[in-house]
């Protein structure tokens, strides 16, 4: 079994992006800028945002974090987004999720101009991705896609099973695999025989949020398995894949941590640079 090293792939991608930022700076005399809005004091969100800021600085992006307390009014956030939409130094805007209950997530997502939507959550980008047009692509599925392509460049006709149907992961992942000419089955918690579906797969992407759901005997011998899960359990952080069992069966597998996670942040930087480049045309 080959361990797909997301940490190493992310470091390589960041090095390429750093080079690209240097070249853009020489050409345009400005650098892409990422602004993250963080609401409330949820620890995981704070950690994510700190990592995003650190990585953005590392590749030479202009990075800013705007923090609001949990009690902030929706209107204040929407006004700030409007201001950032017309700020030429801001290439990408990300509002860290989850949001407090009194703030309408969809309203916030739709307030971000599609050309600055580094998350790829705006309906315009969702639609463009599903139609096969140029769009921002959500960072986690984009990271999974790049890891799969690095390992297996030709996905023509492969059978892919995506476990999970979220807007964040499962649905955009399906679109990316379809674009690569995979035959894609999208499964979820109500799928009748998940094991039988997975056993058909050349590629499994598990993004369902259930600890160690995908077992060793669910996986074909030569399958590529991508584990998007980050689940807190009594034995620490585990993925949606039973690592020990599946590592005995699969051809290639991503670890948790050190698999998809580092790629997600690197892809956010890539999306910011891509938004900047599109805005210069």
Instruction: Tokens for 194, please give them.
Output: 């998940």
Active-site pick, 117, 119, 202, 274? 119
Q: Are 249 and 216 contacting, i.e. CB atoms less than 8 angstroms apart?
A: yes
Q: Are 176 and 142 contacting, i.e. CB atoms less than 8 angstroms apart?
A: yes
The answer to the question of residue 227 lying near ligand GUN (CB under 6 A) is no
What is the DSSP annotation of 114-135?
A: GGGBTT--SHHHHHHHHHT-S-
Distances (CA, A) of 173 to 161, 168, 170, 206, 253: 10, 9, 5, 10, 17
| Residue 119 is a catalytic residue | yes
Nearer to ligand GUN, 178 or 230 (CB): 230
Instruction: Tokens for 65, please give them.
Output: 């974090």
Point out which span in 95-103, 173-181, 212-220, 241-249 binds ligand GUN (CB under 6 A): 95-103
Point out which span in 23-31, 80-88, 90-98, 178-186 binds ligand GUN (CB under 6 A): 90-98
Cis ω for the linkage preceding 91 (within 30 of 0): no
* 237 bridge partner residues: 232
In the list 3, 42, 97, 199, the residue contacting ligand GUN (rule: CB under 6 A) is: 97
Nearer to ligand GUN, 107 or 195 (CB): 107
In the list 119, 180, 197, 202, the residue contacting ligand GUN (rule: CB under 6 A) is: 119
Each residue 1-30 as x (binds ligand GUN by CB under 6 A) or -, in order, gives: ------------------------------
In the list 94, 99, 223, 228, the residue contacting ligand GUN (rule: CB under 6 A) is: 94
The answer to the question of residue 42 lying near ligand GUN (CB under 6 A) is no
The answer to the question of residue 272 lying near ligand GUN (CB under 6 A) is no
| Residue 19 is a catalytic residue | no
The answer to the question of residue 34 lying near ligand GUN (CB under 6 A) is no
Binding to ligand GUN (CB under 6 A): which residues in 156-195? Answer: 168
Nearest to 206 by CA among 247, 267, 260: 260
The answer to the question of residue 139 lying near ligand GUN (CB under 6 A) is yes
| Residue 238 CB neighbours (<10 A) | 19
Active-site pick, 52, 62, 158, 270? 52
Give residue 86's Cα distance to chain centre. 25
Classify the C-alpha dihedral 268-154-172-43 as positive or negative: negative
What is the DSSP annotation of 167-186?
A: TTTHHHHHHHHHHTT-EEEE
Q: b/e map of 185-199 (b: 16 or more CB within 10 Å)?
A: bbbeeebeebeebbe
The answer to the question of residue 95 lying near ligand GUN (CB under 6 A) is yes
| Residue 52 is a catalytic residue | yes
Instruction: Provide the minimum distance between the beta carbon of 168 and ligand GUN in the complex, in angstroms, as a whole number.
Output: 6
Active-site pick, 96, 117, 158, 202? 96
Chain positions contacting ligand GUN, by CB under 6 A: 94-97, 119, 139-140, 168
């Amino acid at each position: 079994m080959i361990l797909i090293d997301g940490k190493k792939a992310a470091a390589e991608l960041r090095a390429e992006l750093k080079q690209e930022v240097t070249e853009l700076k020489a050409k345009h005399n400005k650098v892409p800028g990422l602004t993250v809005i963080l609401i409330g004091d949820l620890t995981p969100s704070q950690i994510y945002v700190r990592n995003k800021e650190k990585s953005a600085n590392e590749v030479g992006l202009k990075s800013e974090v705007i923090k609001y307390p949990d009690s902030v009014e929706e209107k204040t956030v929407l006004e700030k987004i409007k201001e950032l939409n017309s700020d030429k130094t801001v290439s990408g805007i990300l509002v860290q999720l989850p949001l407090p209950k009194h703030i309408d997530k969809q309203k916030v997502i739709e307030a971000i101009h599609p050309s600055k939507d580094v998350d790829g959550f705006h309906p315009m980008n969702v639609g463009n991705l599903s139609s096969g047009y140029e769009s921002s692509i959500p960072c986690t599925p984009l990271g999974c896609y790049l890891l799969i392509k690095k390992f297996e460049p030709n996905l023509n006709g492969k059978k892919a099973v995506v476990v999970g149907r979220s807007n964040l992961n499962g649905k955009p992942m399906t679109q990316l695999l379809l674009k690569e000419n995979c035959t894609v089955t999208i499964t979820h918690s109500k799928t009748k025989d998940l094991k039988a579906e997975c056993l058909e797969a050349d590629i499994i992407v598990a993004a369902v949020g259930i600890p160690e759901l995908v077992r060793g005997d669910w996986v074909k011998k030569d399958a590529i398995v991508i584990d998007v899960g980050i689940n807190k359990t009594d034995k620490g952080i585990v993925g949606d894949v039973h690592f020990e069992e599946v590592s005995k069966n699969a051809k290639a597998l991503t670890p948790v941590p050190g698999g998809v996670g580092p790629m997600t942040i690197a892809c956010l930087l890539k999306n910011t640079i891509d938004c900047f480049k599109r805005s210069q045309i």
